[in-house]
Structure 1
């Protein structure tokens, strides 16, 4: 795969940067939570509700954002999304307690909701099939990179200037990205003056290569009730349960259960994100490499996803059972690396399962279904910790959920589930 000298490299770099900002913003609350708890005296249950509130707005706008990207264009929706969540991120600095934090967190989730599905729509438009898993992996690798940066950046700002300053800085970065995106991107490659004819022909040839049999136009209801979309969404629900558990509670686990300092927590919590970034990048390349060698698209996605998620789930359970803080961090680091290795396969699979003009809608529905875990998962974790006085049961439950996610996808999704493209008039 040769991206050098191709304008789609610029588009991919912007998607990567958007996801970096996305995850710094998203992770900022968990890093700042020990500082915020000191100011607002929040209980474990209240913190769990606040962490989960993000996904109330997020899950709803996962679907709406994906649908809007099909209808109004991914470029436009991504611009609005970044601007909206950056404003909400800035408003976090003005909260005064539990209820205002809850409302701002819901609004923040609404702003971030369209990002992943809309980015997947951009990948589908700008990249041929043989590059899509790699492109999705590179773009989404911004998540763990942002997560890794969040600890040092937010921790430093919170210690040096107060936790409110960190949210203001992130808000400004997001708005600057939105301005740059409007200047550098177009809805499709053919509209961009800097896309050369050879690159355009390469992209369009790859798009043609994935067209299946023709058929009647597929409705939105048929898209969201397709077995591949439903099962992939349920599996991603299980994946996200682990992810939100890690994002929301791992920093507090290090401070409350392992008794490390706030300064050390800000640095140590970044280690799993570093392997996560490597996993994201490797997962996309691995999927595309297996596809090119075997010619079996669905197999190339499933073998990477199922194996990685299965081992990651086992590592999550083990993390809660070890005594040493460094062993816990080490096992969690392996777990998050493998978890992220599986991630690009989800976005590639959804592109393989529906017509091109409904990739945004299907991606958004899958992501919305998956992110319902972010509503209930952090809250369940808070209740478990408060009722048992320990993190062990929360780690075990997260691992079991991950095991379920890997097994249902292995058993219930195959290449025959793809919906047909509509017949051209």
Structure 2
């Protein structure tokens, strides 16, 4: 991997870590927030879902803006603004106020993902892009782990309001590091351009791209369903404190990071071919999801949840691998935004649905309902293009010569 790419991965990862700490720490604070503001499970789910509603709505406009005004410019605006709204969350005095603040937080944080992927694409070669992006996205798990540590240490001492005020500084620190060390993009002659291969515009409406967005939606139902509700489930059903629940989440976040990297490396070695990774990973995920609420031992629950996180995370980068290899950086901001939109739409639906099913039926029923997501991801992975050439052929409508990798997959 080029040195420019490595430095970019480190700096983007620092910002992603701040992003995820600011975003995920609310799930560890939900029991305390619910108690202080007298919220039901459905209202607690709405606090998480309203963020993703705004976050999802921002994705495609943000990708277009990154392509128009530059990846680093848009990402920096997002980092500054989300840090402000993280700090303002500490001032929430009611359910309605918290909903408004989380919605605004989602709007400004939604600017970052597609800009970050575009920035990395501008500083990496196509054949290394998925692996580089995979390493960057391990920061999601690191950010979740750091959020758990912060929640376990800070919240018992000073409460959730002080915790939100303190973590608002992380994004500002990452932004300063960008200004000092972010390298310039690679010269365009170092990057394979595919505009002369008949790739039409707009790419955004292409079924070939929308299929990967649906795949990512299915995968992310697991991530946002479990990430939003496992701490509260452990508190309500097993009497586990928020601090201990945060610590129990650490093995899952570590294995999730490992799964993202392994899935990325496999995707590059297989030239994409997502069905070979996604289908078996999602099948195992379904079995573990259904079994999880029936485990009585806390230690065994944490072990199974960790295994589930590692296996499910294998499907993360296969949702992006083929488009990342097939498209030039000039359109990757918008193209990756479409896929990210699918995942964030899962963040809108799943936490609220999980809370509603829990209120109406039980936690066991809510866990079982999550299995619909990985089943959808596995089904879609079977039909999306399995290589960069097949993806470009689908976009351009040229099917004269079948892709040999498709027939072997």
> What's the TM-score, normalizing by structure 2?
0.91
Is 1:239 paired with 2:233? no
Match runs of 1:25-424 below 5 Å? 25-185=22-182, 188-190=185-187, 204-205=189-190, 207-208=191-192, 211=194, 214-215=197-198, 218-220=200-202, 223-288=203-268, 290-291=269-270, 297-299=271-273, 301-388=274-361, 390-415=362-387, 416-418=390-392, 419=395
Deviation at 1:44, TM superposition (A): 0.6
**What is the RMSD of the two structures over their aligned residues, measured on CA atoms?**
2.0
For 1:132 and 1:309, how far apart are their aligned partners in 2?
Answer: 24
1:423 aligned residue = none
Please say which of residues 344-353 and 162-171 is displaced more in the overlay. Answer: 344-353
Deviations 1:193-212 (A, max 9, x none): xxxxxxxxxx844x22x637
The superposition leaves residues 105-151 of structure 1 with CA deviations (integer Å, 9 ceiling, x where unpaired) of 11111122122222211221111122111101110100011111211
**Gap runs ≥5 in structure 1:** 191-202, 292-296, 421-425
1:46-99 deviations in Å (ceiling 9; x for gaps): 111111001111001111221111111111111111111111111100100100
Q: Does the CA-based 8 Å contact 1:304-1:341 persist in structure 2?
A: yes
Indicate conservation of the 8 Å contact 1:61/1:114, yes or no. yes
Query: 1:6-33: per-residue Cα shift (whole Å, max 9, x none)?
Result: 1322111011111111111111101111
Secondary structure of the 2:204 match is: helix
User: How far, CA to CA, are the matches of 1:349 and 1:318 in structure 2?
Assistant: 33
Q: Partners in 2 of 1:360 and 1:310 — Cα distance? A: 31
Query: Cα gap change, 1:120/1:313 in structure 2, threshold over 3 Å: closer, same or farther?
Result: farther
In structure 2, what is the Cα distance between the partners aligned to 1:15 and 1:313?
Answer: 32
In the TM superposition, residue 314 of structure 1 has moved relative to its aligned partner by 2.5
My pick for the range that moved more, 313-322 or 100-109, is 313-322
**Kindly tell me: are residues 348 and 122 of structure 1, through their superposed partners in 2, closer, same or farther at Cα, counting changes over 3 Å?**
farther
The whole-number CA distance in structure 2 between the counterparts of 1:359 and 1:219 is 12
Distance 2:121 2:321 in 1: 9
Once residues 204 and 314 of structure 1 are traced to their aligned partners in structure 2, the CA distance between those partners, rounded to angstroms, is 47
- Aligned pair in 2 of structure 1 residues 67, 46: CA closer, same or farther (>3 Å)? same
CA displacement, residues 317-376 of structure 1 (integer Å, 9 cap, x when unaligned)? 221233322222211111111222221222222223444321110111221133112112
